[in-house]
């Protein structure tokens, strides 16, 4: 088609001008595209995880903080619930109950104390070469944690100090990595899982004795920089107090049927210190706020698109005037008026087509990159 060929040759002959127009249009199209795709991806991701975790139980306070903590381990709770609440739920209600203790980090990643039931609850497998946690101090890494830190079974990782300036505080605990979990594309990939007892040791509720450091009056605070649990000293680790009072930061629950869920919700209706949340409803409310922000951005994008359209029309009008001699020469060479108009329409269509292609490819790459970033830095 001669008109399309001539239009393409014209754009190639003026690379600077063509690039500016294509990039300007691509940016105007990219912004609304990437906004909608990111919001839709976020809605799909949190909706699926919330649907898989119908109920979250925790201390009274911010509903959003508790829901995000139970789903993503990132938000901090302003309180705890006793371990006895977990045992009471198991005895009183049918369904799946999962205890969580997530107050600490290792290399910036959340350390999640739970039971083996959590992995069945989330349907998380294990990569080849790994072994299930067998003693306190063992841990299993999420796939993203293992990849970014370059760690695997047989390696160790230190927990982070809560307060770097508290020199008299508890030691960091060296965790022994026994397995790397299979990738799931969820927040589980960016977490480090330990047994509840290990989490309580990190908190200082449980402790052990190292006889090698308790001699000649030497203070272990001046010698040892972290706790290490080995087969030789694991038997010395113990807990003081009643385990029923040991803290949990949240409980995940899934009733067997609608009646069981209703009974569980009613069980906490008048509880003064503990709340129960239907996570799909809480996350839907959170998404409602995000969608209102998206609506505002859509209005802004309409203004940008209008301004870009007006600018494009001005550029086309000026270009026609600047190319008057060129069009006259083509007419003298035998080009019909219809062919001249077709050439200019093809130039506009090629510009729009390239801009749309760039905008779509850019939005796809951005969504893919930001999906991993949002997973890593989820609140």
pLDDT tens per residue, the chain (379 residues)?
576 776 777 677 777 777 877 887 888 788 888 888 888 777 777 788 888 889 999 998 888 889 989 998 876 767 899 999 999 999 988 889 999 999 999 998 999 999 999 999 999 999 998 888 888 899 999 999 999 999 999 999 999 876 554 444 467 889 999 999 999 888 899 999 999 999 998 888 877 766 554 444 444 444 455 678 888 888 888 788 888 899 999 999 998 888 889 998 998 888 888 999 999 988 888 888 777 777 777 777 777 777 777 777 777 777 777 666 766 676 766 676 666 677 777 877 888 888 889 888 988 888 877 766 655 544 4
Show the tokens assigned to 341: 């108009």
pLDDT at residue 160 in the model: 87
Per residue, the 3-state secondary structure of the chain, as one string, reads CHHHHHHHHHHHHCHHHHHHHHHHHHHHHHHHHHHHHHHHHHHHHHHHHHHHCCEEEEECCCHHHHHHHHHHCCCCCCCCEEHHHHHHHHHHCCEEEEEEEEEEEECCEEEEEECCHHHHHCCCCECCCCCCCCCCCEEEECHHHHHHHCCCCCCEEECCCCCCCCCCCCCCEEEEEEEEECCCCCHHHHCEEEEHHHHHHHHCCEECCCCCCCCCCCCHHHCCCCEECCCCCHHHCEECCCHHHCEECEEEEEECCHHHHHHHHHHCCCCCCEEEEEHHHHHHHHHHHHHHHHHHHHHHHHHHHHHHHHHHHHHHHHHHHHCHHHHHHHHHCCCCHHHHHHHHHHHHHHHHHHHHHHHHHHHHHHHHHHHHHHHHCCC
- Angle CA 194–107–58, to nearest 5: 50
pLDDT at residue 22 in the model: 82
pLDDT at residue 126 in the model: 92
**Residue 303: HSE in the Cβ half-sphere, 13 Å Cα cutoff:** 5
Show the tokens assigned to 163: 């307060």
Q: 10 Å Cβ neighbour count for 186?
A: 19
8 A C-beta contact, residue 234 and residue 176? no
pLDDT at residue 139 in the model: 94
Q: 10 Å Cβ neighbour count for 83?
A: 20
Round to whole Å and give the CA distance between 18 and 274.
62
Round to whole Å and give the CA distance between 281 and 290.
14
Enumerate the β-bridge partners of residue 140: 179, 193
**Residue 57: HSE in the Cβ half-sphere, 13 Å Cα cutoff:** 27
Closest CA to 21 of 309, 364, 362, 306: 309
Please provide the size of the chain in residues: 379
Show the tokens assigned to 126: 């294990």
Round to whole Å and give the CA distance between 366 and 223.
49
Residues 6+ apart with CB under 8 A from 1: none
Closest CA to 316 of 3, 19, 21: 21
Exposed e or buried b per residue across 9-18, where buried means at least 16 C-beta atoms within 10 angstroms of its C-beta:
ebbeeeeeeb
* pTM assigned to the model: 0.74
Its sign, for the CA torsion 134, 144, 377, 118, is negative
8 A C-beta contact, residue 56 and residue 276? yes
pLDDT at residue 163 in the model: 56
Round to whole Å and give the CA distance between 378 and 359.
26
pLDDT at residue 111 in the model: 94
Residues 6+ apart with CB under 8 A from 134: 178
Task: Write out pLDDT tens, residues 304-320.
Answer: 777 777 777 777 777 77
8 A C-beta contact, residue 28 and residue 310? no
């Amino acid at each position: 088609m001669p008109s399309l060929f001539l239009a393409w040759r014209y754009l190639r002959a003026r690379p600077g001008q063509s690039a500016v127009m294509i990039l300007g249009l691509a940016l105007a199209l990219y912004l609304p595209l990437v906004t909608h795709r990111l919001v839709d991806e976020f809605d799909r991701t949190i909706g699926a995880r919330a649907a898989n975790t119908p109920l979250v139980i925790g201390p009274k306070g911010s509903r959003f903080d508790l829901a995000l903590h139970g789903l993503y381990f990132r938000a901090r709770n302003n309180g705890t619930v006793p371990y006895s609440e977990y045992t009471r739920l198991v005895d009183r209600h049918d369904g799946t109950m999962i205890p969580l203790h997530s107050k600490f980090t290792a290399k910036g990643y959340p350390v999640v104390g739970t039971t083996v039931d959590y992995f069945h609850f989330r349907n998380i497998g294990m990569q080849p070469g790994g072994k299930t946690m067998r003693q306190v101090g063992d841990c299993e890494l999420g796939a993203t944690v293992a990849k970014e830190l370059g760690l695997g079974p047989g390696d160790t990782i230190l927990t982070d100090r809560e307060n770097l300036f508290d020199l008299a505080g508890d030691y960091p605990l060296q965790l022994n990595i026994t397995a790397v979990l299979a990738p799931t594309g969820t927040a589980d990939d960016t977490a480090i899982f330990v047994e509840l007892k290990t989490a309580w040791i990190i908190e200082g509720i449980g402790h052990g004795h190292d006889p090698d450091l308790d001699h000649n009056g030497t203070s272990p605070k001046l010698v040892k920089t972290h706790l290490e649990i080995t087969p030789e000293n694991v038997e010395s680790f113990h807990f003081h107090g009643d385990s029923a009072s040991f803290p949990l930061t949240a409980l995940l629950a899934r009733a067997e049927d609608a009646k069981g869920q209703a009974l569980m919700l009613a069980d906490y209706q008048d509880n003064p210190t503990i709340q129960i949340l239907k996570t799909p409803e809480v996350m839907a409310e959170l998404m409602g706020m995000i969608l209102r922000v998206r609506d505002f951005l859509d209005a802004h994008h309409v203004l940008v698109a209008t301004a870009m359209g007006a600018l494009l029309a001005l550029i086309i009008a000026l270009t026609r005037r600047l190319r008057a001699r060129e069009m006259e020469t083509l007419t003298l060479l035998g080009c019909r008026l219809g062919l001249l108009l077709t050439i200019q329409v093809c130039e506009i269509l090629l510009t729009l087509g390239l801009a749309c292609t760039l905008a779509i490819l850019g939005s796809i790459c951005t969504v893919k990159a930001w999906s991993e970033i949002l997973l890593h830095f989820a609140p």
